[in-house]
């Protein structure tokens, strides 16, 4: 029987916000881990030269022979750049600092915005049969982020529950609109996710109210709390779901995965 939570081909989600430190990498790793825990086959694409999602998933710089750079710019096929991680069903295309020059190198490339789109649609991808591909974007609206948005079906936007959280969002929405017009008319917004939420803090609640007033249903019901276990997990190079399975952070990321699966099952119906 076909499982409604399992897309018929990989669903590609870009996790983007040009602000640094808002929870893009944390969300990529832990939403990926939560979906994988549910039995879905997940690929994380690290598209940030800082390589934080690669480190956070336990792939050391020395183990990153082929990376998203080679996938985009050297035509290295998918089966050589995809690595498995310690968690079942969770694979990774790592990144290294090499990727920081890609933005400049891409400019002169005729297909500069479509390189990731094309790379993720190689026949090889069928061999892996991924259900979800999560792209961890750099903290910038550069060509790498545009590649992610052109390749993706949707964009998930983490918002840190802090003052100025909504600032910069209009720039991000403008970029999404431009990508729709120029390259990817069907690009959707998967949702806006409040991260590092502190219920005891008035400011956090104010940001949540503002976000829900302005963005309505686009905001996920699930909110990710600020939780020290979430920030500790990367130093052990594992998702918080593995590091402390019952922590508030792990529970919240599982709830996010379930909310996302419910939404997508509804869309598919
Ligand atoms: P980005 O990828 O957007 O730059 P990160 O995911 O790296 O942001 O998060 C920035 C910092 O905040 C990291 O040190 C991370 O461990 C920490 N962090 C992220 N989410 C949480 C959370 N829910 N609770 C506590 N710390 C968090
Ligand atoms: Mg990051």
pLDDT digits (tens, 9 = 90+) for 46-57: 999 999 999 999
For the entire predicted model, the pTM comes to 0.96
Residues 6+ apart with CB under 8 A from 174: none
Residues 6+ apart with CB under 8 A from 159: 17, 22, 165, 166, 169, 192, 193, 194, 195, 207, 211
Domain contains 262: yes
Domain contains 206: yes
Band of pLDDT at residue 8, cut at 50, 70 and 90 = low
Domain contains 232: yes
- Please list all protein residues whose beta carbon sits less than 5 angstroms from ligand 2, which is an ion: 24-25, 52
| CA dist list (Å): 191 to 59, 89, 221, 259 | 28, 24, 10, 10
- For the CA atoms of the chain, what is the radius of gyration? 17
> How far is Cα 47 from Cα 25, in angstroms, rounded to an integer?
10
Domain contains 137: yes
**What value, to the nearest 5°, has the Cα angle with vertex 99 and ends 97 and 101?**
100
Domain contains 69: yes
E strand spans, 139-220: 154-160, 188-195
Domain contains 5: no
Ligand 1 first shell, C-beta below 6 A: 20-26, 52, 139, 195-196, 224, 226-227, 230-231, 234, 249
Q: Give pLDDT tens digits for 208-260.
A: 999 999 999 999 999 999 999 999 999 999 999 999 999 999 999 999 999 99
Do residues 101 and 72 make contact, with C-beta atoms less than 8 angstroms apart? Answer: no
Band of pLDDT at residue 5, cut at 50, 70 and 90 = low
Q: Which atom of ligand 1 is least distant from the CA of 136?
A: 2
Residue 3 has pLDDT above 70, yes or no: no
Per-residue pLDDT, averaged over 37-48, amounts to 97
Q: Which CATH number do you get for residue 134?
A: 3.40.50.300
Residue 205 has pLDDT above 50, yes or no: yes
Residue 262: domain span: 11-268
- Predicted local distance difference test score (pLDDT) of residue 9: 83
Per-residue pLDDT, averaged over 4-32, amounts to 91
Domain contains 2: no
Per-residue pLDDT, averaged over 149-156, amounts to 98
Number of domains in the chain: 1
Q: Give pLDDT tens digits for 92-103.
A: 999 999 999 988
Q: Which atom of ligand 1 is least distant from the CA of 228?
A: 25
| Residue 108 tokens, joined | 């002169």
């Amino acid at each position: 029987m076909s499982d409604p939570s399992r897309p018929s081909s990989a669903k590609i989600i870009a996790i983007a916000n040009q602000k640094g430190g808002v929870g893009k990498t944390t969300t990529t790793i832990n939403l990926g881990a939560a979906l994988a825990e549910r039995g879905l086959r997940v690929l994380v694409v690290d598209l940030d030269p800082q390589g934080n999602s690669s480190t956070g998933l336990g792939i050391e710089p020395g183990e990153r022979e082929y990376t998203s750079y080679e996938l985009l710019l050297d035509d290295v096929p998918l089966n050589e750049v995809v690595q498995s991680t310690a968690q079942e069903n969770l694979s990774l295309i790592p990144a290294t600092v090499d990727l920081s020059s890609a933005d400049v190198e891409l400019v002169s490339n005729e297909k500069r915005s479509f390189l990731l789109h094309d790379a993720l649609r190689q026949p090889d991808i069928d061999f892996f049969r991924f259900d979800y591909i999560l792209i961890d974007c750099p903290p910038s609206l550069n060509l790498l982020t545009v590649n992610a948005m052109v390749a993706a079906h949707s964009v998930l936007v983490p918002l840190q529950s802090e003052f100025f959280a909504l600032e910069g969002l209009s720039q991000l929405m403008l970029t999404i609109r431009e990508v729709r017009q120029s390259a990817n008319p069907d690009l959707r917004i998967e949702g806006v996710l409040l991260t590092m939420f502190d219920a005891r803090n008035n400011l956090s609640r104010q940001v949540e109210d503002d976000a829900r007033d302005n963005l309505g249903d686009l905001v996920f019901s699930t909110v990710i709390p600020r939780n020290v276990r979430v920030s500790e997990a990367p130093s052990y190079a594992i998702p918080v779901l593995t590091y402390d399975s019952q922590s508030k952070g792990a529970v919240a990321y599982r709830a996010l995965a379930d909310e996302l699966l419910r939404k997508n099952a509804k869309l598919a119906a």
